[in-house]
Amino acid sequence: MKPPPFDYHAPRTLGEALDVLAGTGEHGKVLAGGQSLIPLMNMRLAAPAHLVDVNRLGGLAAVETGPDGVRVGALARHAQVERSAGAAAVQPLLRQALRLVAHPVIRNRGTAVGSLVHADPAAELPAVLALLGGSVRLARRGGTRDVAAGEFFTGPLESALRPGELAVSAFFPALPARSGTAFREVSRRHGDYALAGVAALVRLDGDLRVAEARAACVSAGPVPVVVDVTAACGAAPAGAADWEAAARAVRERIEPEDDIHATAHYRRHLTGVLAAQALREAARAAAENAGENAAGRAGEQAAGRAAADAAGREGAHG
């Protein structure tokens, strides 16, 4: 099928894009990777009168990493973020989740920010942003605003983006110390949207007990559902935490629906199974990271002592 007619705009600067979007208002739609919008238009489920193609705004393609987190520009493709070693080091959940998004061909074209704005409750990245407490930066003619993940997803395929706005980047906070993450999902065929999926983050305290455990569920409600299971799994050592109790807490909180792919009952059951698996894996990763940090610190101290000894020897010789 072919899409309904539309006017095509190809701005070359951010300012030009914001002017066009201001002019087209609710009749304009941003075209990024086109991996969701074009199928919707071809199926006549979307019929914007104006398409504003932002693919020429090269300045929006950056993936910037720093100690606080990863800022992903609006034109960074899924594959680019997935392959970024810096992003994976600062926040490993990004790569863990992106590997599960569709197929490589779609990941080469689709954008991470486009996935967030598209706000499909079955998509991986909205759950990641919600779990981590990230945010989306929205620009309009005359200003920008940052919207926290908790307020950004407002319903199935609905976000806080207003007519005239362009999402210029998204921010994913860094993995805290002594923490680990994991993403588990089940789909009928490889690359399909998940029937159920869970992103998990576990943080340990200095005694390697669970200090914080959270799970974000996909296909479990109209928006990503984040469940804090810290109390449910008890402040136990990572290896002995009650992840089954955590899974029960997740099952109680979610609101999956029946559709042609699965019943709500099955989705609820599956989400609990995946939550226990993802939380256990995240806890293992947290324990490993805590061990590496401790080993790293011990190594630094040993190196420091060796350097001091060497300096002392030099001093003695001198």
Ligand X SMILES: Cc1cc2nc3c(=O)[nH]c(=O)nc-3n(C[C@H](O)[C@H](O)[C@H](O)COP(=O)(O)OP(=O)(O)OC[C@H]3O[C@@H](n4cnc5c(N)ncnc54)[C@H](O)[C@@H]3O)c2cc1C
Q: Which residues are near ligand X by CB under 6 A?
A: 29-37, 39, 74, 101-102, 106, 110-111, 113-115, 117-118, 123-125, 161, 166-167, 193
Nearest residue to ligand X, by Cβ distance, number only: 110
Beta bridge partners of 314: none
Q: How far is the CB of 265 from ligand X (least distance, A)?
A: 23
CB 220 within 8 A of CB 271: yes
Cα angle 169, 172, 173 (rounded to 5 degrees) comes to 135
CA 173 to CA 66: how far, in whole Å? 10
- Of 166 and 232, the one with the shorter C-beta distance to ligand X is 166
- Of 161 and 276, the one with the shorter C-beta distance to ligand X is 161
Q: How far is the CB of 101 from ligand X (least distance, A)?
A: 4
Going by the DSSP 8-state scheme, the letter that residue 174 receives in this structure is P
Q: How far is the CB of 60 from ligand X (least distance, A)?
A: 8
- Of 192 and 244, the one with the shorter C-beta distance to ligand X is 192
- Of 32 and 233, the one with the shorter C-beta distance to ligand X is 32
φ/ψ of 130, rounded to 5, equals -65, -45
- Of 189 and 317, the one with the shorter C-beta distance to ligand X is 189
Tokens representing 47 are 């019929």
Q: How far is the CB of 9 from ligand X (least distance, A)?
A: 12
Q: How far is the CB of 234 from ligand X (least distance, A)?
A: 33
In 58-183, which ranges are continuous DSSP H helix? 78-83, 85-90, 92-98, 104-109, 112-118, 124-132, 149-152
